[in-house]
Structure 1
Amino acid sequence: MSVSESHYPARWWHALPDGRIQCDLCPRDCKLHEGQRGLCFVRKMEGGQMVLTTYGRSSGFCVDPIEKKPLNHFYPGSSVFSFGTAGCNLACKFCQNWDISKSRETDTLMDQASPDEIAAAAERAGSKSVAFTYNDPVIFAEYAMDVADACHARGLKTVAVTAGYIHEAPRRAFYAKMDAANVDLKAFTEDFYFKLTGAQLQPVLDTLVYLKRETKVWTEITTLLIPGRNDSDAEIAAMSQWIMRELGPEVPLHFSAFHPDWKMRDVPPTPASTLSRARDIALKAGLHYVYTGNVHDTTGGTTFCPGCHDPLIVRDWYRIERNSVTPEGRCPHCGHAIAGHFDASHPAFGNRRIPIALHPESRP
């Protein structure tokens, strides 16, 4: 596939009276002149139409534990074939994948792969699922959706790791192809979203409500806690209460540790005590499954039965030390149903990370 061929006709745009076009994919509503790219950098006006410049190209492929996405209730212990492209439709000052999401070298840093090549590679790797991750799949939705079709044809599941910043029509089309999603709820104030991400909170909340109420997509939520920015008791309590009220107690919530990166290198790392405090607040709000991430915290990584409170899936970071949930998804002690998707067909992958070269013969 040549670079020119990767300028794939995009969906979700319309022409404007002044000769520009408007992107209708996400709430940014970028209005573009000929040759101009949107804020995401990968959607461009070319020949009077919108094209996706990263279709068929990836920033790399890797086999990860599913817990790294993080998804703790979607076939725990299985491996997931992960890939992303470049660019992003948010402008997070704390981005921890900034070398990929902020990349402008889309013509030189990409592995080329068709949807079926990716699905075939994931099948060869023995992965249960394929994840669209590292940067937000919303901006390469056409590519992700075609890959998802190829995966489903081979019996593989699909996972979106996303900030959920997307308009209603593409949201419905995109998530119709997904089996699971981890949505990054970056904070619970409009002020945070505006100042630190250049986006808005409400569209993300709308995505979460849509996923829970109108789809069968297994959904988990991650919030990166940044000292002094979104880690107050009041904000964590308000967010937990909203999740409880609008989504219910069974949506897993992950509180993850920040480390200084991108444009926020002057902010200290998140103390482990902050994650534990946030977990306690969310549990008191009534949520059943609350986790800590990016730290060694066995208690915060363990899935407890909401019925008898026995530890069922004991984790240390991404490593599962014990899993006693039945293949039917129940507690073996009291029979309580554990929310999620479970089976016994995949042995625990562990905390390995295996880079994959789809075309090793083309490497220098």
Structure 2
Amino acid sequence: MEGTREVLSGVPARWWHALPDGRIQCDLCPRDCKLHDGQRAACFVRANQGGQMILTTYGRSSGFCIDPIEKKPLNHFYPGSSVLSFGTAGCNLACKFCQNWDISKSREMDTLMDEASPQAIAQAAKRYGAQSVAFTYNDPVIFAEYAMDTADACHALGIKTVAVTAGFMHLGPAREFYAKMDAANIDLKAFTDDFYFKLCGGHLQPVLDLIAMVHHETDCWIELTTLLIPGENDSDSEIKRLAEWCFKELGPDVPLHFSAFHPDFKMLDRPATPPATLQRARRIALDAGLHYVYTGNVHDRAGDSTYCPGCGKAVIERDWYEILSYSLDDTGHCKHCGTAIAGRFGHFGHAFGARRIPVRIAAM
């Protein structure tokens, strides 16, 4: 926690309570930060201002882009559609391998961010033809109030919402948060608490509890991503245990993405993940009974594509974020054999493609 007593600005935040010693405790995530007046929480964006919790980044963003939905990554949520993506600053984990560290670890962005109200974001998504808005780049857990208000504004205009998150959140606020999300990609960073503690400053069990809750108690579509780091979480035994947990707790139809690490932030001494490691992990997870397992951050058309669990044929062939062929009807059934593919589908006209389009949004 930051110990400086600075003059802070922001909007009232939720999920906190006062302590007998005059501090307040944040109840949003398992860090349970306890703050004196003027202190910021570990995430840097939630703070004690005069005995009240405030969110300092409400209405401000690190930037906006139109992306393909597959980049989140979400392969079973309206494939080929475009999504308006944005984030803020800060994070409630401390991953040494963070690949968005310039945003998530920023301490200078409070005065540099673009301003945009929830209504302006929703209207921009409509204007640009984006089917959804994604809260991403940094973890939307820490700007939950802003994300939830934006979700309400999006839903009023028929725009869907997506959370890209590490899932390190208490279940009480998570139930409220995911009730407003149409889809989420949740990082399952490893399958040992030692990894979470040493490399992320967190713990595994709260993430597992949250994933299970979202899957079983909400209508939010989820997909999982595991970034495989050589020598840390890429052993056959750990991958097998992770995949077996997914099968037992979530069933065979929740997609699992294995993504390639590249040296970044505080782990510059590690090599990039070989494509063969991702392909090995994919085979292990498929052998564990999962129907939809993908590889990411590498060129692997087989690992990018979606296969029907009924007939085994490719129903969505992909190359990176490009869709090469699409063999599902509007309700998500295989055109070859009629098997229902798990996910959220609609009419497929043409894919947005691999473009990334930076956009500006007028403040409101």
Calculate the TM-score normalised by the size of structure 1.
0.97
Please name the residue that 2:27 is paired with.
24
Counterparts of 1:276-295 in structure 2 under 5 Å? Answer: 276-295=279-298
Q: Matched residues in 2 for 1:13 and 1:342: separation?
A: 38
Aligned residues of 1:94 and 1:263 also touching (Cα < 8 A): yes
2:188 partner letter: L
Q: Could you tell me how far 1:106 is from its partner in structure 2?
A: 2.6
Aligned to 2:11: 8
Aligned-partner residue type, residue 42 of structure 1: V
Residue number in structure 2 paired with 1:175: 178
1:153-302 counterparts in 2 under 5 A?
153-302=156-305
Question: What do the CA deviations read for 1:332-361 (whole angstroms, capped 9, x no partner)?
Answer: 01100000011125520000000001139x
What is aligned with 1:135? 138
Q: Once the 2 structures are TM-superposed, how far is the Cα of residue 93 of structure 1 from its aligned partner?
A: 0.1
**Do the aligned residues in 2 keep the contact of 1:6 with 1:56 (CA within 8 Å)?**
no
* Alignment partners' CA distance in 1, 2:226 and 2:25: 31
1:59 matched residue in structure 2? 62
SS in structure 1 at match of 2:231 = coil
Quick one: percent identity of the two aligned structures?
72
SS in 1 for 2:298: coil
CA 1:346 to 1:172, structure 2 compared with 1: closer, same or farther past 3 Å? Answer: farther
Q: Offset at 1:224?
A: 0.2
Instruction: Map Cα deviations across residues 293-336 of structure 1 (whole Å, 9 max, x no partner).
Output: 01110000110000000011001111111111111110001100
Query: For 1:70-85, what aligned pairs fall within 5 Å after superposition?
Result: 70-85=73-88
Asked whether the equivalents of residues 182 and 219 of structure 2 are also in contact (C-alpha less than 8 Å), the reply is yes
Q: 1:69 maps to what in 2?
A: 72
Mapped partners of 1:341, 1:5: distance in 2? 42
- 8 Å contact from structure 1 (residues 6, 55) kept in 2: no
The secondary structure found in structure 1 opposite 2:152 is helix
Find 2:109's aligned residue among 97, 106, 109: 106
Q: Work out the CA distance in 2 between the residues paired with 1:35 and 1:290.
A: 46
SS at match of 2:207: helix
Moved >3 Å (runs of 4+): none
Q: CA RMSD in A?
A: 1.3
C-alpha displacement at 1:108, in angstroms?
Answer: 2.1
Q: Secondary structure at the match of 1:81?
A: strand
Over 3 Å counting, the alpha-carbon distance change for 1:176 and 1:346 in structure 2 is farther
Tell me the distance in 2 between the aligned counterparts of 1:76 and 1:165. 27
Aligned with 2:311 (options 289, 308, 319): 308
The code of the aligned residue for 2:19 comes to L
TM-score of the pair, normalised by structure 2: 0.97
Aligned length: 358
1:321 aligns to what? 324
Aligned 8 A contact 2:327 2:336 in 1: no
* Residues 99-108 or 234-243, more deviating: 99-108
CA displacement 1:59-99 (0-9 Å, x = unmatched) = 00000000000000000000000000000000000000000
State the 1:50 CA deviation.
0.4
Residue identity opposite 2:181 in structure 1: M
Gaps spanning 5+ residues in structure 2: where? 1-6
